[in-house]
Amino acid sequence: MKNKIVITGGAGFIGSHLGDALLSNRYEVVAVDNLSMGKIENIKHNLVNPDFRFEKVDIRDIESLKKVCKDANIIVHLAAYKIPRYGNAVETLLVNGEGGVNVFKVAKEFNCKVVLASTSDVYGKSEESFFQEDGNLIMGPSYIPRWSYAVSKLFEEHLAYAYQDAYNIPVNIIRIFECYGPRYHLSWWGGPIPVFISAILSNKEVEIHNDGKQTRCFIYISDLVDGIISIIEKDKLSGEIFNLGTKEEISILDLVYLIKDLSGSVDMPKIKFVPYSSFSNKKYEDIKKRTPDITKAGNLLKFAPKMSLREGLLKTIDWQRGIIKKEE
Ligand SMILES: NC(=O)c1ccc[n+]([C@@H]2O[C@H](COP(=O)([O-])OP(=O)(O)OC[C@H]3O[C@@H](n4cnc5c(N)ncnc54)[C@H](O)[C@@H]3O)[C@@H](O)[C@H]2O)c1
């Protein structure tokens, strides 16, 4: 019998790509999503596949989640509400908090393994040059809403270990560092790349938060999915946290110029620097540098991202151009 994997957030960006890859690796996949941010469009090519099922379920509804997870071997828990950059910290805390509790209750009932999606944001204001999985996690003050996302993910991480220790539920945690590629959201929900590409392709103003000197490391979707699959397929792996990202560090300002070059635009980008103080709730803190140490994933999972930022951006720009054309 095939292994049955439930992906919460299965109609979202990462979840839909993971579903594609699992189906081609001969798994049975159930995509659970309330479609608040995910789209049927992302999974419609799989709807005719007998090994695939979509269930429109809110992870806060434990009875429905139970029905869907019955017989599952593994739950990959991706459903989440992200950084409340412009507000809605309540949704972030409740979806991630209540949803996380339900996922672990259900995993306990059916004895499923869980792979939990966490985030690089949990390293918070750590000043380490390379974040290691066992390093300190330094949060900012509670009145800054952005930290509610990291705190909600940390709550889920602690829940994972608590369930593992109390009930022997095998859990592994991935801390994702800025993933991009086709099917990501074209707003800030999808990170800075989609917003910059859209602005550059349509010759509009590119908004950069603060001075643009903050740096990030971006991972292409197929490399991230390879990392998640190696965790799923590794026997007896439990209780581990893995950074999944790349070491190719770039400043936000250089990212804009790189996208400009790769998109073939002849015009210089019109850059508008936006101070954090102009955000609607006037309370925002950013992270200056966020670079993962991926040695552990390399050693234990043979994780080795293959796609350079240039190559990944070229593919993504191509996809985004197609979307913009369709919308015209
Ligand atoms: N994309 C990244 O760079 C990144 C970075 C760090 C962490 N992550 C984490 O990875 C996971 C997937 O992120 P993504 O980029 O694919 O985001 P996404 O928004 O595309 O996917 C999340 C999915 O969860 C669904 N969802 C939200 N609330 C739900 C609910 N209450 N019930 C059922 N479904 C619900 C949404 O509809 C969406 O389809 C998230 O947990 C996110 O926090 C992503």
Give residue-wise pLDDT tens across range 170-191: 999 999 999 999 999 999 999 9
Map tokens 């939990």 to a residue: 116
CA of 251 to the centre of ligand 1 (A): 25
How are strands ordered across the β-sheet holding 52-56?
Answer: 52-56, 28-33, 4-8, 74-77, 113-119, 171-176, 240-244
Say if residue 240's pLDDT is above 80.
yes
Q: What is the DSSP letter of 273?
A: E
Distance (Å) of CA 192 to CA 180, 181, 187, 306, 308: 9, 12, 8, 21, 17
Phi/psi of residue 296, nearest 5 degrees: -65, -45
How many CA atoms are closer than 13 Å to the CA of 61, on its beta-carbon side? 11
Of ligand 1's listed atoms, the one at least distance from the Cα of 37 is: 37
- Please check the confidence at residue 85 and state whether its pLDDT lies above 80: no
Calculate the alpha carbon distances from 21 to 17, 26, 143 in Å: 6, 9, 40
Q: What is the tally of helices (H) and strands (E) in the chain? A: 9, 13
Element (H, E) at 152: helix 147-167
pLDDT range class, residue 131, cuts 50, 70, 90:
very high
CATH architecture of 4-181+218-247+291-306: 3-Layer(aba) Sandwich (3.40)
> What confidence score (pLDDT) does residue 282 get?
65
Bridge partners (DSSP) listed for residue 272: 207
d(CA 82, CA 247): 23
In this prediction, residues 261-290 reach a mean pLDDT of: 86
pLDDT-wise least confident of 35-44, 53-62, 86-95, 217-226: 86-95
Asked whether residue 328 carries a pLDDT value surpassing 90, the answer given is no
Residue 111 has pLDDT above 70, yes or no: yes
At residue 83 the predicted structure's pLDDT band, cuts being 50, 70 and 90, is: confident
Taking the C-alpha atoms of residue 1 and residue 186, their distance in angstroms, rounded to an integer, is 39
Q: What is the DSSP letter of 281?
A: T
Q: Cβ(7) to ligand 1 under 6 A?
A: no
What is the Cα 210 distance to its own chain's centre? Answer: 23
User: For the stretch 279-315, what's the b/e string if a residue is b when 16 or more beta carbons lie within 10 angstroms of its beta carbon?
Assistant: beeeebeebebbbbbbebbeeebebebebebeebbeb
- pLDDT higher than threshold 70 for residue 243: yes
**Alpha carbon of 265 to ligand 1 centroid (Å):** 32
- Please tell me whether residue 153 adopts helix, strand or coil conformation: helix
Question: Is residue 148 pLDDT above 80, yes or no?
Answer: yes
Residue of the CA atom closest to atom 23 of ligand 1: 9
CATH class of segment(s) 188-212+249-287+320-327: alpha beta
Q: Which helix (H) or strand (E) holds 164?
A: helix 147-167
CA angle 201, 202, 206 (to 5 degrees): 85
pLDDT tens, position by position, 67-76: 999 999 999 9
Q: Is the CB of 192 under 6 A from ligand 1?
A: no
Mean pLDDT, the chain, rounded, equals 95
pLDDT score for 142: 92
Mean pLDDT within 294-308: 98
Residues with a known catalytic role: 149
C-alpha–C-alpha distance, residues 178 and 153, integer Å? 15
Domain chopping of the chain, boundaries:
4-181+218-247+291-306, 188-212+249-287+320-327
Are 10 and 78 in contact, with CB atoms under 8 Å apart?
yes
Mean pLDDT of the region 294-312? 98
Query: Is 244 close to ligand 1, i.e. is its CB under 6 Å away?
Result: no
Q: Which of 73, 145, 68, 71 is nearest to 102 (CA)?
A: 68
From ligand 1's centre to the CA of 173, what distance in Å?
Answer: 15
